[in-house]
Amino acid sequence: MRITDFAEEGCFEPRKLASVLRTTIGELASSVGLPEDELRNRRLLRSDKTQRRLRELVEVLNKMTPRLGSELMAYAWYRSEFLSGHGDLTPMHLVRDGLAQRVLEYVDSMEAGVHE
């Protein structure tokens, strides 16, 4: 996933992300812990919080896509895989709670062979 493929006027564009991930804007909003309106309203879409959450999703997917073979598989992992050491939480839960850095660190530890 090239970040520029999902940008428009210097911001992440949810329509482009949703299209690649074969999902809806509503599902995308849920996946990053935002109300759907924040991804549909141009003014709200440009907020720091909204753009940060979309960036975090792209960062996680970019790290997992080479490992899993496609953006769709990385998105499925993001939404459904429980992370060891994080209870019953998926990467999606952690990103929604503002803990994307933990997911990125977990993926790095996977690459180092700590988690499989």
**What ranges do the domains of the chain cover?**
3-111
pTM: 0.89
At residue 61 the predicted structure's pLDDT band, cuts being 50, 70 and 90, is very high
Q: Rounded to 10 degrees, what is the CA torsion of 57, 63, 94, 92? A: 60
Q: How do residues 70-99 score in pLDDT, each as one tens digit?
A: 999 999 999 999 998 888 899 999 999 999
Q: How do residues 17-55 score in pLDDT, each as one tens digit?
A: 999 999 999 999 999 999 999 999 999 999 999 999 999
Higher pLDDT residue, 40 or 3?
A: 40
Q: Among all chains, which residue has been given the structure tokens 């996680």?
A: 60
